[in-house]
Amino acid sequence: MGDKKNPLEEQLKELIDFCRETDLREVVWEKNGTKISFQRSGISAVPAGSAKQSPSMAETADKASPEPFFIRSNMVGTFHRSDSKDRPPLVVEGTIVAAGQPVGTIEAMKIMKDVVSPIPCRISKALVADGHAVEYGQPLFEIEREGAEENV
């Protein structure tokens, strides 16, 4: 890496490119006391119900009919479809959501936390009923990606 301008940045770029080409959801890279870890914004790169080798994310995004992805739980708790009692679900099948938009809440230790969509997408299926317990990494919604923007 010798005299490159910013070797770390170069390496990081290489690492992200590498990640893009594979199905990796999470990368932890450690060298000489420097540690970098990143995740693909809570979205599975593996299309639902597909046992075969899945195409890369870039490939998927180019396709005419988008393959399903998931919004997953990033904590343990009780899942709610709405943000408070007696309110309708925040999203239903077909709702178009923006990146960062709340799609549900998870209650843990009497505290409610929003579940947000990491990318712009269309909700195609709710997978967990209101009031059900969820674990870390559990798929909550099946989604279709909106737009072809790559999201790592």
Q: Where are the beta strands (DSSP E) in 9-151?
A: 26-31, 34-39, 68-72, 77-80, 96-97, 102-108, 111-116, 121-126, 133-134, 139-145
Single residue of 78, 82, 101, 151 touching another protein by CB under 8 A: 78
Of 89 and 137, which has the nearer Cβ to another protein? 137
- Asked if 75 touches another protein (CB under 8 A), the answer is yes
Q: Would you give the binding string for another protein spanning residues 16-55, x where CB under 8 A is met?
A: ----------x-x--------x-x----------------
DSSP helix, strand, coil percent of the chain (3-state; round to 5): 15, 35, 55
Q: How far is the CB of 59 from another protein (least distance, A)?
A: 25
Which one of 3-11, 43-51, 69-77, 139-147 is the stretch in contact with another protein (CB under 8 A)? 69-77
Distance CA 117, CA 123 (A): 10
Q: How far is the CB of 77 from another protein (least distance, A)?
A: 5
Element (H, E) at 119: none
- Asked if 76 touches another protein (CB under 8 A), the answer is yes
